[in-house]
Structure 1
Amino acid sequence: MTTFATEPAAAHDTTTGAYALGHLEALESEAVHIFREVAGEFERPVILFSGGKDSIVMLHLALKAFAPAPLPFSLLHVDTGHNFPEVLAYRDRVVAAHGLRLHVASVQDFIDDGRLRERPDGTRNPLQTVPLLDAITTGRYDAVFGGGRRDEEKARAKERVFSLRDEFGAWDPRRQRPELC
């Protein structure tokens, strides 16, 4: 017999009327708080949105943070040209269904006009930085939600909830505020 662990429902203390959040509820609550904090502190935030699993979850949390009001952020996709057509179609359906604004920065456009060169190995992931920084500058975005998971790889483990970047997109730890766990 196979059993699956499930997230327990929020526990209710009948003596005080207080609720204790489960782990997932606490993470969701923190994410909603972060979206609202950024909306209050920045003029032009943007959410990186490819239509993939991580960005779908991030968009869901952002929509939840501001419902029933419209999302106060635009979406930005840096298209490598290597996405499955079904993912791009899904991305576009989600954007249309929620009446969102999507800006697409294309790696291929940068290759075509000579600002980038194809890599010998064919991968385009490292080429995303230039179109991303260009889109941030052009869109005058002052905060970018990236949605990277800290547990995905060692390099991301050092990331903070707010990672302040310099004009080249590099993390600037001198400007980083401490985060308490």
Structure 2
Amino acid sequence: MTDTSNPTGRVASASEPAGRVASASERIETSAPGLDTGAARPTRPASAFTSLDALEAEAIHIIREVVAEFERPVLLFSGGKDSVVVLHLATKAFWPGRVPFPVLHVDTGHNFPEVLAFRDETVARLGIRLEVASVQDYLDDGRLQERADGTRNPLQTQPLLDAIAAGKHDAVFGGARRDEDKARAKERIISLRDEFGQWDPRNQRPELWSLYNGRHTVGQHVRAFPISNWTELDVWSYIEREQIPLPPLYFAHERDVYERDGMWLAVSDVSRPRAGEQVERRTVRYRTVGDLSCTGAVLSDAASLSEIVTEVAASSLTERGATRADDRLSEAAMEDRKKDGYF
């Protein structure tokens, strides 16, 4: 098992103050390739070890455990903030080497252009292989059909499972967190999927003392969630601390939007206002990134990381509950999709 008390494995030098406990972030040199960590952080006394340091160390431990135990892991990477944070943690976990696994994006064909551009720039900068499973390909050859509501998020399941099988991936990293949704709150950090890629919430393995059971048979795989114990506020606080680059739509900007079911949807080729829905020019930002047709913006003037942290701290709604129409289809919408193999 990996020693989580020293996630980077670096031995403290004699010049470091006695009794000092450095966080995982501090033990990573700021010249690490692909890391935008800014200037070197000042040394801190042991009493300054924070909850973010503990969460970071736990996540790095999980990532290293999965890579050590499984043969062909992959990271589900959409360019959204949570997958960006997991990729950042993986880059730290294996520096000065490169991330030893590819990233996989299930492209609905209705993604935000800013997010796709950020995705491509990120993998190029880090020198990571990108695998793309295209929902549009499945629609074109008849394996899937468009939904009546035009939403493609629920159509991602089959392309995802096929991509996992084609890549022979036995472990799939994701950025899901327990605070996002009731169904995700039920899931373990290492969560088994059967031969059909399905999840049984009634049959899960205990995870005691940070011991993770990755046992699986041929055809099965696990989903691994290194930031499962993080909250949305933790994620934003960590992004602010690490100065992690993000797609620009996470910050306040002007956009043509219209209101539907209490959400502000962007005007685009795949999301058009219905009769009676008025298009307005508003200052908005996105709390989560998904399919253009079902992901809503929030009215916000938060244009910096510190302003976003303050805004999120004051929010009483989860990001998915406030901005994802596909999660409002039913009380168990997310759980039903996860049982079928959705991430």
Of 138, 142, 148, 1:120 maps to 148
CA distance in structure 2 between the aligned counterparts of 1:107 and 1:30, rounded to whole angstroms: 34
Shift of 1:121: 0.4
Instruction: For 1:96-111, list aligned pairs within 5 A.
Output: 96-111=124-139
The residue identity in structure 2 corresponding to 1:32 is I
Given that 2:78 and 2:105 are in contact with CA atoms closer than 8 Å, whether structure 1 keeps it comes out as yes
CA distance in structure 2 between the aligned counterparts of 1:17 and 1:109, rounded to whole angstroms: 54
Tell me which residue corresponds to 1:81. 109
Report the 3-state secondary structure (helix = DSSP H, G, I; strand = E; otherwise coil) of the residue aligned with 1:58. helix
Tell me which residue corresponds to 2:53. 25
Give the superposed CA RMSD.
1.8
Report the 3-state secondary structure (helix = DSSP H, G, I; strand = E; otherwise coil) of the residue aligned with 1:95. helix
TM-score of the superposition, structure 1-length normalised? Answer: 0.87
Report % sequence identity. 71
Of 54, 57, 63, 2:82 maps to 54
Tell me which residue corresponds to 2:164. 136
What is the aligned residue count?
168
1:157 and 2:189 matched: no
In structure 2, relative to structure 1, the CA distance for the partners of 1:16 and 1:51 (3 Å cut) is closer
Given that 2:186 and 2:201 are in contact with CA atoms closer than 8 Å, whether structure 1 keeps it comes out as no
The CA deviation string for residues 116-152 of structure 1, in whole angstroms up to 9 with x for no partner, is: 0100001111110000000000001000012111101
The CA deviation string for residues 45-72 of structure 1, in whole angstroms up to 9 with x for no partner, is: 0000011111111100111111111111
Tell me which residue corresponds to 2:313. none
In structure 2, relative to structure 1, the CA distance for the partners of 1:52 and 1:101 (3 Å cut) is same
Of 103, 118, 123, 1:95 maps to 123
Shift of 1:177: 2.8
The CA deviation string for residues 24-64 of structure 1, in whole angstroms up to 9 with x for no partner, is: 11110000000100010000000000111111111001111
CA distance in structure 1 between the aligned counterparts of 2:19 and 2:140, rounded to whole angstroms: 65
Report the 3-state secondary structure (helix = DSSP H, G, I; strand = E; otherwise coil) of the residue aligned with 1:159. coil
CA distance in structure 2 between the aligned counterparts of 1:61 and 1:24, rounded to whole angstroms: 12
Report the 3-state secondary structure (helix = DSSP H, G, I; strand = E; otherwise coil) of the residue aligned with 1:163. strand
Higher deviation after alignment, 16-25 or 86-95: 16-25
Report the 3-state secondary structure (helix = DSSP H, G, I; strand = E; otherwise coil) of the residue aligned with 1:46. strand
Shift of 1:17: 5.3
Given that 2:187 and 2:201 are in contact with CA atoms closer than 8 Å, whether structure 1 keeps it comes out as no
The residue identity in structure 2 corresponding to 1:115 is R
TM-score of the superposition, structure 2-length normalised? Answer: 0.47
Shift of 1:100: 0.3
1:147 and 2:178 matched: no
CA distance in structure 2 between the aligned counterparts of 1:16 and 1:86, rounded to whole angstroms: 45
Given that 1:44 and 1:141 are in contact with CA atoms closer than 8 Å, whether structure 2 keeps it comes out as yes
CA distance in structure 1 between the aligned counterparts of 2:52 and 2:157, rounded to whole angstroms: 32
Of 170, 193, 198, 1:170 maps to 198
Shift of 1:22: 1.3
Specify the structure having the higher radius of gyration (Cα): 2
CA distance in structure 2 between the aligned counterparts of 1:84 and 1:17, rounded to whole angstroms: 44
CA distance in structure 2 between the aligned counterparts of 1:175 and 1:153, rounded to whole angstroms: 19
Of 72, 89, 106, 1:44 maps to 72
Gaps of 5+ in 1: 1-13
In structure 2, relative to structure 1, the CA distance for the partners of 1:15 and 1:99 (3 Å cut) is closer
